[in-house]
Structure 1
């Protein structure tokens, strides 16, 4: 199983899109002190996930979401998933 995920940092007010086969371990890595985009913040939280059977499918979806380059579209995706689950909304 592969996961496409969106992380959010309140400190940076930014989203990060990625994919992995081990979401828990990947989140730990994002929250370590390293030199990449997610480094030095430590407050990244998973706000959205989607599951895929193959790495190819997950990579394709990740690239699609990243191509949007729009915080508004990412928020719409997160809100659509949350409204199905609990009625929460991301502002």
Structure 2
């Protein structure tokens, strides 16, 4: 099963949308700075998920 998710960074005051099989694992990757866009902040929080 895949999920679409929306993250929010209070530090950047920006949203990020993505899709993944494991949202929790993907959030950990975003928090650790492994993504180009999301590496600019470490405070990403899940604000929405939808499973498919």
Q: TM-score, normalised by structure 1?
A: 0.54
Structure-2 change in CA distance of 1:34 and 1:2 (3 Å) = closer
Higher helix share: 1
Decide which structure has the larger Cα Rg and report it.
1
Higher strand share: 2
Stretches of structure 2 lacking an aligned partner (at least 5 in a row)? none
Give the 4+ runs in structure 1 shifted more than 4 A.
none
Pairwise CA RMSD of aligned residues?
1.2
Q: Are the counterparts in 1 of residues 20 and 26 from structure 2 also a CA contact under 8 Å?
A: yes
Q: How many residues matched?
A: 52
Question: Larger relative contact order (C-alpha < 8 A, sep ≥ 6)?
Answer: 2
Stretches of structure 1 lacking an aligned partner (at least 5 in a row)? 53-91
